[in-house]
Amino acid sequence: MKKKVRLWVILSSVLMLTMLFVITISYILLTKHTVSEVKKRQEQQLVALGHNLSLEPLVIDSLEQNTYSEELQKYTLKVSTIHKLDFIVVFDMDGIRLTHPNSDKIGKHFEGNDEGNALKGEETISISSGTLGETLRVFVPVFYKEKQIGVVSLGRKTTSLTEQIDETKRAYTFFVSLSLVICIFVGSLTAYFLKKQLLDLEPSELARLFEEREAMLTETNDAIIVINLNNQVLLMNKQAGYFVNGDILNKSTVVGQDISQFITEWQRVNLIDKKEQLYQQDGIDYLLSVAPIKVKKQHIGYILFFKNISELTLISEKLDRTREYALALQNQSHEFMNILHVIYGLVDLEAYEELTKYLADILTPDEEFEKRVSILVGNPNIAALLITERNKFVAKKIDLVVDILPESVTGFNQKQEDDFISIYSYINNSLLTLSLPKTIEQRISYRERQISLYYECSLDMEAYQLLQQKTATTYFKHLVRKTTSQYQMTQSNDGWVQIECVIGDDGGTHD
């Protein structure tokens, strides 16, 4: 597998190459500009000096007399030395030199073939070769009484000009090199700082961690919500959408909102306590875990985990009901043998009046209900559920009259059993929170692979509205939709309430 280039190397290389490119371009442009400026400045200095010499009386006198002057030769050599010129040549209208750095050249014709325009009265600048080699020359005409009498030529060797330019370049090169070293250091430091900000992770590692986090948030069955210190939602997974709304929410509508808009009893949640908390919303039990989020030891928010424990609770209750049902059957077996012995003894003693009283006692509704359930209901989980739920109403001194049609609950598949237990328990628990009458009628039937659950009782308007609220929760709506059920509740003018729920069949395997 090909080894990937580290992020620090990439960032450092990009920053340094960028700086190198910018500095190089700047250096080239600056050097070009400097060369042009040096040449231009030299030309201006030579022209200015040439004009001064053209007005010098000593120069005018020598040209007017058209004779060699020792004094003029010394003067031009002195000026050349002061201004660091390679030559100052004064020649007449015939091009004959009156001065020259090399005295042997005096009296000879000017060389270079570029003095023609100057002899015509024009000020010219050129680069040409002469006795001193290639030079930058300036020609300034000399006038006396509005008549040209000669020319002053000044110049520097191009080698001298190049040396001056090279000296300037060396200074620039030093500062550019120093700047480049500083930029490389700053670029490396910046890349190192950026890498630290990314927790020393490479891009591939960041992408992998992001994908893993997304997979964890998406695939987990727990509702996960991230909030800041202002209790505003920053992030939530798909299950959290079901948790707060019973359906998938659009994240863009949730992010930034206050979490109290979605958590009905937010004031009960303790963000400081790290222990698991029991929380209930829309009839569902959740185990809530809260973990603080810290970045560089700074507290910035919380992450909330809501684990749905309804299934665990349902399984636990089912085991408890099954255990109670098994004990009830065991007790019924012993009790049945005892009853037979008592009946046999009373008959043998011909104590028919006592026998009548005894039979009336053992045929009470409670005793009769448990026996009837054990006979009519073949599913132990359903039978245990009916007995347990009825006992809850009996504990509140409410007579729950349950009518079970023959063989009403045989042939359930596993999903129908779970759906029936969920809906039956929810409706009963909702009723138990209300102010109920002394008697509630209930009918359970099973026809054409559909379970029908029917309630009838008398409720006042306040209790009826409370029951409507409980059956209008997002959880119950989601439960009805998930179980492909049909639910209806009505109230007549005399206050009688009818509740009917038909639990459908999804085509699962039947017993």
| Pair (105, 33) in one structural domain | yes
| Pair (411, 482) in one structural domain | yes
Q: How far is CA 365 from the centre of its chain?
A: 64
CB neighbourhood size of 275 (10 A): 8
| Pair (147, 235) in one structural domain | no
Q: Is 317 among the domain residues?
A: no
Q: Is 433 among the domain residues?
A: yes
β-pairing, 439-447 vs 399-404, is: parallel
Asked whether the beta carbons of 455 and 467 are under 8 A apart, the reply is no
Q: Is 484 among the domain residues?
A: yes
CATH number at residue 51: 3.30.450.20
| Pair (385, 296) in one structural domain | no
Q: Is 386 among the domain residues?
A: yes
Strand ranges across the sheet with 124-130 = 87-92, 147-157, 133-144, 124-130
Q: Tell me which H or E stretch contains 427.
A: helix 414-432
| Pair (236, 158) in one structural domain | no
Sequence-distant (6+) residues with CB within 8 A of 506 are 415, 416, 484
| Pair (16, 160) in one structural domain | yes
| Pair (124, 16) in one structural domain | yes
Tokens for 21?
Answer: 């490119």
Tokens for 97?
Answer: 């030199």
Residue ending a domain, choose from 128, 146, 164: 164
| Pair (158, 229) in one structural domain | no
Tokens for 281?
Answer: 């919303």
Q: Is 37 among the domain residues?
A: yes
Asked whether the beta carbons of 442 and 402 are under 8 A apart, the reply is yes
Asked whether the beta carbons of 387 and 355 are under 8 A apart, the reply is no
| Pair (404, 500) in one structural domain | yes
Q: How far is CA 31 from the centre of its chain?
A: 47
SS3 category, 126: strand
Residue ending a domain, choose from 308, 340, 369: 308
Number of structural domains the chain divides into: 3
**Which pLDDT score, from 0 to 100, does residue 366 have?**
54
Asked whether the beta carbons of 253 and 289 are under 8 A apart, the reply is no
CB neighbourhood size of 299 (10 A): 10
SS3 category, 451: strand
Q: Is 396 among the domain residues?
A: yes
Helices 70-82 and 57-65 meet at what angle, rounded to 10? Answer: 140
Q: Is 445 among the domain residues?
A: yes
Determine the structural domain holding residue 291 and report its residue range.
Answer: 220-308
pLDDT along the chain (511 residues), means of 10: 63 75 80 79 85 87 85 89 86 87 85 82 80 78 88 80 71 76 77 74 75 74 84 81 58 75 78 78 77 84 82 69 64 63 72 72 58 67 81 85 69 78 88 89 83 90 89 82 88 88 66 45
Asked whether the beta carbons of 332 and 367 are under 8 A apart, the reply is no
Q: Distance (Å, rounded) from C-alpha 439 to C-alpha 303? A: 47
| Pair (156, 276) in one structural domain | no
**Which pLDDT score, from 0 to 100, does residue 489 have?**
92
Q: Tell me which H or E stretch contains 453.
A: strand 450-458
Q: Tell me which H or E stretch contains 442.
A: strand 439-447
Q: Is 280 among the domain residues?
A: yes
Residue ending a domain, choose from 255, 276, 308: 308
Q: Distance (Å, rounded) from C-alpha 454 to C-alpha 466? A: 19
**Which pLDDT score, from 0 to 100, does residue 363 have?**
56
Q: How far is CA 220 from the centre of its chain?
A: 20
| Amino acid identity for residue 379 in this structure | N
| Pair (36, 130) in one structural domain | yes
**Which pLDDT score, from 0 to 100, does residue 454 have?**
92
| Pair (21, 142) in one structural domain | yes
